[in-house]
Amino acid sequence: MQALYRVALLPGDGIGPEVIAEAVKVLKVFEQLNGPMFRFQTGLIGGAALDATAEPLPAETIAICNNAQAILLGAVGGPQWDTKRPELRPEQGLLQIRQRLGLYVNLRPARVLDSLVNLSALKPELVRGTDLVIVRELSGGIYFGNPRGIFSKNGERTGINTEIYREHEVERVAHRAFQLARLRRKKVTSVDKANVLETSRLWREVVTRIGKSYPDVELEHLYVDNCAMQLIDRPTRFDVVLTNNMFGDILSDEAAMLTGSIGLLPSASLGEHQALYEPVHGSAPDIAGRNRANPIAAIASAALMLRYTFRSETAAQAIETAIERVLKRGVRTAEIPGRKRPVSTSRMGDLIAEQTRKEYQALSAPPSRGRAKGRRR
């Protein structure tokens, strides 16, 4: 009997609906091959939700997400909503859903593919072999601390944001980082600013304590400015980079650019009982509706969903290998240099779906009797 996976689709704004459509296209390949079945429900978020309901995250969308095992999101935002009050900006939909679903850790992988190594801003000999994951604490820190706001006193305005971290918030994200490192190259780099910030001193103390429970994983500490420098100078030295909300927001975009295109990179936001998957890129309103957006990050996000929520490693590997093989053939969308006639969004989705079919069939095929048991002589 085929497994049934319940997925909430939140296409959002700009190119979001276009790239999510291609991710769904690839996921449906598995249904045709007697793999998992998907039950999709679509909801509004961000600017699209504001236009329809005057809220960036309507109650109906929350209900759809609560009924799903995982959420696949496109992108939010656009210039037409820039004049909205802060609490009614499209980005509030994303912040609210993270809080409501208890999503406290964000995974941002950045791997340089051999076929795209020349697109990196760094020299190929520096960046080749880069394969790291930023583990960003997602629900605490300066983005959520109180007091916050802009206040007037004695005729002068003052802006206030408060950085707060509680011990348990650091503990749970640290455990996630060390567990992930055990599946990779067994190294965690914890990034803070402990020479200046009390929150970072607590962060370093807690991470050091948690690290003792993982004696097989190497732990090092770096100040955030040093880490930013070393990501450019020696990116291949990193494996799992653990850091707080604001530092992770900045460093993950820096790491993304090592790969040559932010349009290639997925992300996963995980909690104890729910998870949200989305491409790293924004809504790109200037190319929305023109069938020229790169859908790879959304498709790769679907692969992360299969791996982390549905524990379907074979399906996840099939998608990721398919992406690599299609790019290796020289296929490019418009924003990736290297081809005079780039393919459209939908054509890139078609090619990855076709290759995913082949990869999944190969990975799912039982070993031949000769390979499994050896031949008699």
Q: What is the rounded distance in angstroms from the CA atom of residue 130 to the CA atom of residue 319?
A: 20
Cβ burial, residue 171 (10 Å; 0-12/13-18/19+): middle
Q: Which residues touch 143 (CB under 8 Å, ≥6 apart)?
A: 95, 245, 246
Which is the catalytic residue, given 253, 308, 350, 358?
253
28, 84, 131, 143: the active-site residue: 143
Distance CA 218, CA 209 (A): 13
* Active site annotation includes 143: yes
Q: What stretch of H or E contains 73? A: strand 70-75
With a CB cutoff of 8 Å and minimum separation 6, the contacts of 137 are 104, 105, 106, 165, 169, 170, 173, 243, 244, 245, 248
From the list 13, 192, 239, 249, the catalytic residue is 249
Q: Residues 25, 104, 193, 277: which is the catalytic one?
A: 193
Choose, from 51, 114, 225, 286, the residue flagged as catalytic.
Answer: 225
Identify whether the C-beta of residue 38 lies closer than 8 Å to the C-beta of residue 27: yes
Give dist(CA 297, CA 206) in Å, integer.
33
Q: Are the C-beta atoms of residues 134 and 248 closer than 8 Å to each other?
A: yes
| Closest among 336, 334, 207, 204 to 259, alpha carbons compared | 336
Backbone angles phi, psi at 374, to 5 degrees: 85, 160
Contact 101, 65 (CB under 8 A): yes
Token pair for residue 23? Answer: 């991710």
Task: Give the integer Cα–Cα distance in Å for 133 and 178.
Answer: 12
Q: Give just the sign of the alpha carbon dihedral 50, 53, 59, 64.
A: negative
Q: Is 114 a catalytic residue?
A: no
SS3 breakdown of the chain: % helix, strand, coil, rounded to 5? 45, 20, 30
The verdict on whether 249 is a catalytic residue reads yes
Q: In what order do the strands lie in the sheet with 37-42?
A: 37-42, 4-12, 70-75, 275-279, 266-270, 105-111, 131-137, 240-243, 187-192, 218-223
Active-site residue set? 143, 193, 225, 249, 253
